[in-house]
């Protein structure tokens, strides 16, 4: 199963922010939307990602003045991305190896969406439950 299947049900809306926006604006967006990451865009392309984790690490290391920094100074860059045809298990492995929780989905330089580890785990659980139900139905029919 590919990432495209997840985007077809989840949707393709992506919360973004400009790299020159103040980090305080990113904090406000993350909090008001109750999300864990924003894609940082530069000229229509993904230049990085700013996550709750990035903000916390900057605050811990440099103090509250980081809230006046440009997002580009605190973001993770380059963003690790996948394509719509990436298999879900491959994406999960990538997230585990890189210790990240969000993957922008890019195809031919165009942003197509974003998936979180929660999206991928939910998809896997739903699929496993569906397969188990099919097995139960098969066993009961025999």
**Per-residue pLDDT, 50:** 97
**Per-residue pLDDT, 130:** 82
Query: Mean pLDDT throughout 96-121?
Result: 94
Q: What is the 3-state secondary structure (H, E, C) of 43-75?
A: CCEEEEEEEHHHHHHHHHHHCHHHHHCEHHHHC
Q: What is the pLDDT of residues 1-43, one digit of tens each?
A: 899 999 999 988 999 999 999 999 999 999 999 999 999 999 8
Phi/psi at 21 (5° precision): -70, 150
**Per-residue pLDDT, 140:** 87
For 48, the token pair is: 């990085």
Q: CA 60, 71, 38 angle in degrees (round to 5)?
A: 95
**Per-residue pLDDT, 69:** 97
Report the 10 Å Cβ neighbour count for 8: 12
Q: What is the pLDDT of residues 38-78, one digit of tens each?
A: 999 998 889 999 999 999 999 999 999 999 999 999 999 99
Beta bridge partners of 82: 105
For 124, the token pair is: 């896997």
Short-list 124, 53, 51, CA closest to 91: 124
Q: What is the pLDDT of residues 115-141, one digit of tens each?
A: 999 999 988 888 888 888 888 888 888
pTM: 0.83
**Per-residue pLDDT, 43:** 86
Contacts 24+ apart (CB under 8 A), 63-69: 66/23, 67/22, 67/23, 67/24, 67/27, 68/22, 68/23, 68/24, 69/22, 69/23
Alpha helices for the chain (secondary structure H): 3-10, 23-33, 52-62, 71-74, 88-98, 117-141
- Domains for the chain: give ranges and CATH numbers: 3-141 (3.10.580.10)
């Amino acid at each position: 199963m590919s990432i495209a299947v997840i985007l077809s049900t989840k949707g393709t809306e992506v919360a973004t922010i400009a790299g020159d926006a103040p980090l305080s604006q990113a904090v406000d967006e993350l909090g008001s939307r109750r999300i864990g990451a924003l894609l940082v865009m530069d000229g229509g392309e993904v230049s990085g990602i700013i996550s709750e984790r990035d903000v916390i690490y900057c605050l811990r290391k440099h103090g509250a003045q980081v809230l006046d920094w440009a997002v580009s100074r605190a973001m993770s860059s380059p963003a690790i991305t996948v394509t719509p045809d990436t298999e879900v298990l491959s994406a999960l492995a990538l997230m585990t190896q890189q210790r990240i929780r969000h993957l922008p989905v890019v195809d031919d330089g165009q942003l197509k969406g974003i998936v979180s580890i929660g999206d991928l785990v939910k998809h896997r659980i739903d699929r496993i439950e569906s397969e188990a139900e099919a097995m139960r139905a098969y066993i009961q029919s025999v």
